[in-house]
């Protein structure tokens, strides 16, 4: 759907409606990079609902502008992972390497987790730039902040609803006459990220779509 939004010349701007506690790092990073790519051609505005934490916030920082509600839950900037179980001798199972059964050592897994943390922190610092009013050390604590606190710390740009986000996207795209479409894939989920696109006004009847990404 992000590729569709980028390839349709009638779509002038994109609004990401985010309500998510996060998800698998590799999936989140892919969406983050896809939004950055889209942002090179069209304005992208994020609108965070009840939650935009962890991977949900990771995606939000890839946009040009971030809105959240006063009591939205944001932040949790970091990652977690289950450590592999220690390798144990088993007379009934033979492996070709010391970590074949576990996938690696706990030290290696801890190092990979630290790499994920650093990449997340780096993305926030890079994308928020001078707007960020909180230290890297504080970010690394992975705290959760309300929308009001997030505005104070520069994690978001303003307090507002999806309506404000749509108006901001239109302003960034320098358009006045437009219609809003919702892009989606028909898959029921609990945590939702919706994409709204702003199209130049035409005589055609609008078609509505919804895009949902599942977070596990």
CB-count burial class (<10 Å; 0-12, 13-18, 19+) for 58: buried
Write out pLDDT tens, residues 28-62. Answer: 999 999 999 999 999 999 999 999 999 999 999 99
Q: Has residue 118 been placed in a domain?
A: no
pLDDT at position 32 is 94
Q: Has residue 103 been placed in a domain?
A: no
What are 8's two structure tokens?
């349709």
Q: Has residue 180 been placed in a domain?
A: yes
- Banded pLDDT at 23 (limits 50, 70, 90): confident
pLDDT at position 78 is 84
pLDDT at position 117 is 86
pLDDT at position 208 is 41
In this predicted structure, the answer to whether residue 106 has a pLDDT above a threshold of 60 is yes
Round to whole Å and give the CA distance between 146 and 183.
28
pLDDT at position 43 is 96
Closest CA to 2 of 132, 160, 11: 11
CA–chain centroid gap for 17, Å, is: 10
What's the mean pLDDT in 55-84? 90
CA distances from 137 to 110, 118, 125, 171, 178 (A): 19, 11, 12, 35, 43
Q: Has residue 15 been placed in a domain?
A: yes
Q: Has residue 211 been placed in a domain?
A: no
CATH number of the domain encompassing residue 31: 3.90.226.10
As for how many domains the chain has, the answer is 1
- Banded pLDDT at 207 (limits 50, 70, 90): very low
What's the mean pLDDT in 17-28? 88
Pick from 27-36, 51-60, 83-92, 159-168: least confident: 83-92
Q: Tell me if 210 sits within 8 A of 32, measured CB to CB.
A: no
What are 183's two structure tokens?
């892009």
Round to whole Å and give the CA distance between 54 and 71.
16
- Banded pLDDT at 209 (limits 50, 70, 90): very low
Q: Has residue 181 been placed in a domain?
A: yes
Closest CA to 86 of 69, 99, 68, 73: 99
Round to whole Å and give the CA distance between 166 and 16.
10
Q: Has residue 87 been placed in a domain?
A: no
Q: Has residue 97 been placed in a domain?
A: no
Domain that holds residue 36: 2-79+134-200
């Amino acid at each position: 759907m992000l590729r569709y939004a980028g390839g349709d010349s009638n779509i002038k701007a994109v609004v990401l409606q985010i309500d998510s506690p996060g998800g698998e790092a590799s999936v989140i990073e892919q969406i983050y990079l896809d939004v950055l790519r889209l942002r090179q051609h069209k304005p992208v505005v994020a609108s965070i609902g009840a939650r935009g934490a962890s991977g949900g916030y990771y995606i939000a920082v890839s946009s040009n502008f971030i809105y959240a509600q006063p009591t939205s839950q944001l932040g949790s900037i970091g990652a977690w992972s289950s450590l592999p179980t220690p390798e144990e001798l088993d007379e009934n199972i033979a492996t070709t390497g010391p970590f074949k059964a576990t996938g690696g050592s706990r030290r290696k897994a801890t190092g990979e987790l630290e790499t994920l943390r650093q990449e997340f922190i780096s993305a926030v610092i890079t994308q928020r730039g001078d707007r960020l009013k909180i230290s890297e050390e504080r970010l690394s604590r992975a705290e959760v902040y309300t929308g009001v606190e997030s505005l104070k710390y520069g994690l978001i740009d303003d307090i507002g609803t999806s309506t404000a986000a749509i108006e901001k996207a239109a302003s960034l795209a320098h358009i006045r006459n437009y219609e809003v479409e919702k892009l989606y894939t028909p898959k029921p989920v609990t945590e939702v990220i919706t994409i709204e696109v702003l199209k130049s006004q035409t005589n055609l009847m609008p078609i509505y779509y919804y895009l949902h990404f599942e977070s596990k």
